[in-house]
């Protein structure tokens, strides 16, 4: 009596669509063995695809058959597509089984492989499921490509988006907060070129963004974020971007600025500042030692009743101050930076004039962009004429076309951004009022800010090191703009043929008389 191992294989789609259940296959195989008086040694259940023989249960069975030859005579399955859907791999596996004395056989498609003519039928049985797989894969490929051309995103949504389905079963991606806001912030920070991409990823991670390094880098290069879908080149069709059906997260100009920052095409500005996460040390990196002039660092020491925070020098001078006292003293210094009410009118006028100048600059830039776009289109037309006259090769034309289209995309994105920004004068007044509120309440603005904004306020006012001592703060100079805004409280606010009333805007600033130039005002204690 022969001995057989029964091989039962299904995949999820086959079990659902065609009814190839494991129980049904086992029942048919056992009935066949009972009729033909074949002893069943074991039943192997498999739920992996038959595209290859890299299947866990089959690999274990094959290893067992090689190790213990003669225990099994047959490996039975219902049809040849249960055995394999790849003709080449199937022939190779049949030879391996024969070498260990095992004959594979499909009970519903029986073949005597000792008869040469039956190999033709075996080729048909094996090729038919392979062709079916290939056709299904090709249909899927063309279906997904057609969907991309229609602007639909295929696959798992990128970070900041989430996969959703409409009531009629149509799939789409939608904005997912708070990850969308964090990704938008990350794009803006990378475009600035201040911190490295990895540092920005860490900052975003601390704020709650769940994204691996690889995922983050891929996201920064994904055009999905500015509302486009990639359609890759295929046969005679070239690579292109189409408008997506989803909501864009950033502007096209910002996306290309990020690409330039990553590629190193833009000049990067990296100030000598550290990204801090400790709220107790907003002044770290801005304080100089009053004894040895080195930069003070900051740390916390553990005591009996808790942790104590200090700004201290790393040198042997022993300079050391409690962080709370230093921080409170700095807030007191900020209280001295209170401009007169008349400053508001000057500030408002200056910002309005500057905005008007920038608007004129934008109009000039738009004209320059249009000229550049026309020039590139003209070059593309000349290249097309050279191709038609066989003066250049199609390969060279394709290279030229790709380079010009890339430049056109960037120029058109910048032009669209300038166009969208035109006419936003109605928001200017709100922005000015917000800025004035911050200027008049600088100390309160500072206290209510997070660690990042606090350091921006410090750095914008004090370009040089601050020095703290028991008598207060002192510094070499303050920012020229801040000096102009706040020096109106001093005697530099001299008038000529006007008034000194702080509620009046009818005064003119003039320099004091004398041979030497007037020095910038320094607040008391600096």
In tens, the pLDDT along 81-97 reads 888 877 788 888 888 98
Task: Please state, for a pLDDT cut of 90, what percent of the chain lies above it.
Answer: 6
The Cα 342–Cα 360 span in angstroms is: 28
CB 20 within 8 A of CB 47: no
In this predicted structure, the answer to whether residue 421 has a pLDDT above a threshold of 50 is yes
Identical topology for domains 3-136 and 161-263: no
Contacts of 271 (CB under 8 A, 6+ apart): 194, 459
In tens, the pLDDT along 30-66 reads 999 989 899 998 899 988 877 788 888 899 999 988 8
The confidence score (pLDDT) of residue 427 equals 67
The confidence score (pLDDT) of residue 512 equals 40
The confidence score (pLDDT) of residue 76 equals 92
In this predicted structure, the answer to whether residue 521 has a pLDDT above a threshold of 70 is no
| SS3 per residue for 242-267 | EECCCCCCCCHHHHHHHHHHHHCCCC
Both tokens assigned to 128: 């038919």
The confidence score (pLDDT) of residue 509 equals 39
In tens, the pLDDT along 193-249 reads 778 888 889 889 988 998 888 999 999 999 999 888 988 888 777 888 888 888 889
The confidence score (pLDDT) of residue 187 equals 92
**How large is the average pLDDT for residues 286-312?**
83
DSSP class of residue 157 equals P
- Confidence band, pLDDT 50/70/90 cuts, at residue 502: very low
**How large is the average pLDDT for residues 106-112?**
86
- Confidence band, pLDDT 50/70/90 cuts, at residue 458: confident
In this predicted structure, the answer to whether residue 520 has a pLDDT above a threshold of 50 is no
- Confidence band, pLDDT 50/70/90 cuts, at residue 161: very high
- Report the mean per-residue pLDDT for the chain: 78
The confidence score (pLDDT) of residue 493 equals 39
The confidence score (pLDDT) of residue 492 equals 39
The confidence score (pLDDT) of residue 367 equals 82
The confidence score (pLDDT) of residue 266 equals 52
Parse the chain into domains and list their residue ranges. Answer: 3-136, 161-263, 277-334+449-526, 358-423
In tens, the pLDDT along 250-280 reads 888 888 888 888 877 554 544 444 455 567 8
- DSSP H or E segment with residue 188: helix 179-192
> pTM of the full predicted structure?
0.48
Please identify, in words, the CATH class of the domain defined by 161-263.
alpha beta
Task: Please state, for a pLDDT cut of 70, what percent of the chain lies above it.
Answer: 81
In tens, the pLDDT along 422-457 reads 555 556 777 777 777 777 777 788 888 888 788 888
Chain centroid to Cα 66, Å, comes to 50
In this predicted structure, the answer to whether residue 171 has a pLDDT above a threshold of 80 is yes
Of 328-332, 401-405, 509-513, which gets the smallest average pLDDT?
Answer: 509-513
The Cα 373–Cα 405 span in angstroms is: 10
CATH code that applies to domain 3-136: 3.40.50.1390
Query: Angle 179-192/213-220 helices, nearest 10 degrees?
Result: 70
- Confidence band, pLDDT 50/70/90 cuts, at residue 471: low
Contacts of 449 (CB under 8 A, 6+ apart): 457
Contacts of 83 (CB under 8 A, 6+ apart): 7, 9, 50, 77, 90, 93, 104, 106
**How large is the average pLDDT for residues 174-186?**
91
Distances (CA, A) of 49 to 44, 56, 84, 212, 426: 15, 11, 9, 30, 62
The Cα 322–Cα 331 span in angstroms is: 15
- DSSP H or E segment with residue 119: helix 118-149
């Amino acid at each position: 009596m022969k001995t057989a191992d029964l091989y039962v294989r299904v995949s999820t789609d086959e079990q659902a669509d065609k009814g190839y259940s494991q129980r049904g296959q086992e029942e048919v195989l056992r009935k066949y063995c009972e009729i033909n008086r074949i002893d069943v040694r074991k039943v192997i259940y498999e739920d992996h695809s038959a595209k290859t023989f890299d299947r866990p249960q089959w690999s274990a069975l094959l290893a067992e058959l090689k190790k213990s030859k003669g225990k099994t005579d047959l490996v039975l399955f219902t049809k040849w597509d249960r055995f394999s859907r790849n003709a080449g791999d199937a022939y190779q596996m049949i030879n391996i089984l024969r070498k260990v004395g095992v004959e594979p056989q499909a009970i519903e498609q029986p073949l005597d492989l000792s008869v040469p003519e039956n190999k033709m039928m075996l080729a048909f049985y094996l090729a038919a499921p392979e062709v079916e797989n290939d056709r299904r894969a090709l249909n899927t490929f063309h279906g997904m490509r057609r969907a991309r051309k229609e602007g639909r995103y295929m696959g798992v949504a990128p970070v900041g988006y989430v996969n959703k389905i409409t009531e009629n079963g149509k799939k789409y991606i939608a904005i997912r907060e708070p990850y969308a806001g964090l990704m938008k912030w990350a794009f803006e920070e990378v475009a600035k070129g201040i911190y490295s991409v990895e540092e920005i990823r860490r900052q975003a991670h601390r704020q709650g963004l769940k994204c691996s390094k690889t995922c983050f880098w891929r996201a920064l290069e994904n055009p999905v974020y500015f509302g486009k879908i990639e359609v890759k080149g295929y046969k005679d069709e070239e690579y292109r971007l189409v408008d997506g059906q989803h909501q864009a997260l950033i502007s096209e100009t910002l996306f290309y600025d990020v690409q330039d920052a990553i590629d190193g095409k833009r000049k990067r500005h990296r100030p000598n500042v550290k990204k801090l996460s400790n709220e107790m040390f907003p002044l770290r990196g801005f304080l100089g030692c009053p004894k040895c002039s080195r930069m003070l660092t900051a740390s916390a020491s553990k005591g009996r009743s808790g942790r104590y925070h200090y700004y201290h020098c790393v040198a042997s001078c022993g300079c050391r101050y409690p962080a709370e006292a230093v921080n409170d003293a700095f807030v007191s210094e900020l209280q001295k930076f209170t401009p007169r009410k008349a400053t508001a009118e000057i500030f408002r006028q200056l910002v309005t004039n500057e905005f008007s100048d920038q608007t004129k600059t934008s109009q000039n830039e738009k004209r320059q962009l249009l000229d550049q776009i026309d020039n590139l289109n003209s070059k593309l037309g000349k290249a097309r004429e050279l191709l038609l006259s066989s003066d250049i090769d199609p390969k060279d034309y394709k290279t030229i076309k790709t380079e010009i289209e890339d430049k056109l995309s960037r120029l058109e994105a910048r032009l669209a951004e300038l166009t969208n920004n035109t006419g936003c004068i109605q928001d200017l007044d709100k922005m000015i009022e917000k800025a004035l509120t911050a200027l008049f309440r600088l100390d309160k603005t500072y206290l209510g800010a997070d660690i990042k904004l606090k350091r921006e306020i410090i750095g914008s006012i004090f370009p040089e090191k601050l020095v703290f001592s028991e008598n207060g703060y002192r510094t070499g100079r303050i920012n020229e703009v801040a000096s102009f805004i706040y020096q109106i409280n001093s005697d530099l606010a001299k008038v000529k043929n006007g008034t000194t009333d702080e509620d009046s805007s009818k005064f003119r600033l003039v320099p004091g008389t004398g041979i030497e130039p007037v020095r910038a005002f320094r607040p008391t204690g600096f």
